[in-house]
Amino acid sequence: MSSAEIAPTESGHRQSSRRFRRAQKVAPFVFLAPAVLLLLVFLLYPLVSSFRLSFVSWNGLGDGGDFVGFQNWVRLAHDTLFWRSALHNILLAVFSVVVQLPIAVVLAVVLDEASKGSRILKILYFLPLLMSSVALGVLFKNIYDPNFGPINGILSELGLYSWTQDWLGDPRLALASVIAVVSWQYIPFYMVLFLAALSSFPREITEAARLDGASGRTIFWRLKLPHLQGTFRTAALLVLIGSMRYFDLIYVMTGGGPENASEVMATYMYRTVFASFELGYGSTIASAMFFIIMAISIVSLRVSQRFETEV
């Protein structure tokens, strides 16, 4: 074969190689394009649109409303009901971390150690998470009913008449009653997270510790709990973010009442938009929720990273 025939072949190979490398660089963007497009349409655009509406006064009808500048934000800064609802979100987050995560860890450890009947127990413990929040809200609204609910009925049968309460109608008890149901619903989710983390814990270490005379309590505190630190931080972050945006179950059970005793930011925003028809101010509340959740997420990540470094 002559050199004149070899030259075009080598040139074609180089062109094919360049096209292949170019295709390799472009391929990730092609596959990511649909997901990015969905995020832009259903996440970024509503977020920017909501922030834009926070600068107008609009009832949601007719044209886009009147531009009022920072008037809605000034109103929000002086809105005691909004800050009270934000405090309720914080209380929900704190009690969710304090109640849900320790119970979830204990259940995960027990189910991880159990051999007989562990599958049945996992299914039973996971059932609350399979129910919709609306169905749970209706169910527990009837359970908490002061006249016909089983809680007061059992207390009356035991002669504890002074313990019977209007659980959802008393401003002192409404928020605590709702937090109890939220915790009961989401404990199985975090239990599954901890179970998944425990499944990666080497069994040889546990067996070796037992041969050395370590008790179950020592194995838990010295070996398994440090192994769960990363999962615990992730679960805590999920609890904090979820508690800041919780809505459906609270709305079904109390609607934010009585006397705004169980009002959270999401229910306050919903009532502002769909009951008072103040779409501009409701968008301001939604934007404030976004900034609060983002700030809490950033702080939580920084704290968890510092803790991880120290440990």
Average the pLDDT over 105-126 and give the result: 77
pLDDT > 50? residue 311: no
- Backbone torsions φ then ψ of 63, nearest 5 degrees: -75, -170
What pLDDT is stored for residue 197 in this prediction?
87
pLDDT attached to residue 117: 60
CATH architecture of 81-310: Orthogonal Bundle (1.10)
Average pLDDT over residues 42-46: 83
Three-class SS state of 150? helix
pLDDT greater at residue 168 or residue 17: 168
pTM of the model: 0.83
Output the pLDDT for position 86.
93
* Cβ atoms of 164 and 146 closer than 8 Å: yes
**With 70 as the cut, is the pLDDT of residue 202 above it?**
yes
The distance from CA 88 to its chain's CA centroid, rounded to whole angstroms, is 16
DSSP for 60-120, please give it.
SSSSS-EE-TTHHHHHHHT-HHHHHHHHHHHHHHHHHHHHHHHHHHHHHHHHHH--TTHHH
Q: Which two tokens stand for residue 110?
A: 């027990």
pLDDT on residue 182? 92
Distance CA 311, CA 309 (A): 6
At 204, the amino acid letter reads E
Total Cβ atoms within 10 A of residue 169: 17
pLDDT of 1-33, one tens digit each?
Answer: 545 554 456 665 666 677 767 777 777 888 888
Four-CA torsion 198, 201, 203, 207, nearest 10 degrees: -90
Residue 117 CB burial class (10 angstroms; 0-12, 13-18, ≥19): exposed
Strand, helix or coil for residue 56: strand
Tell me, what's the pLDDT at 309? Answer: 44
Tell whether the model's pLDDT for residue 41 goes beyond 50. yes
Confidence band (pLDDT; 50, 70, 90) for 177? very high
pLDDT at 310: 44
Rounded Cα–Cα distance for residues 185 and 131 (Å): 8
Q: What is the pLDDT of residues 120-163, one digit of tens each?
A: 777 777 788 888 888 999 999 999 998 888 999 999 988 888 88
**String of DSSP letters for 171-199:** TTTHHHHHHHHHHHHHHHHHHHHHHHHHH
Q: How far is CA 195 from CA 59, 110, 125, 237, in A?
A: 48, 10, 12, 18
Give me the count of residues in the chain: 311
Residue-averaged pLDDT of the chain: 84
List pLDDT tens digits, range 57-96.
Answer: 888 777 777 888 899 999 999 999 999 999 999 999 999 8
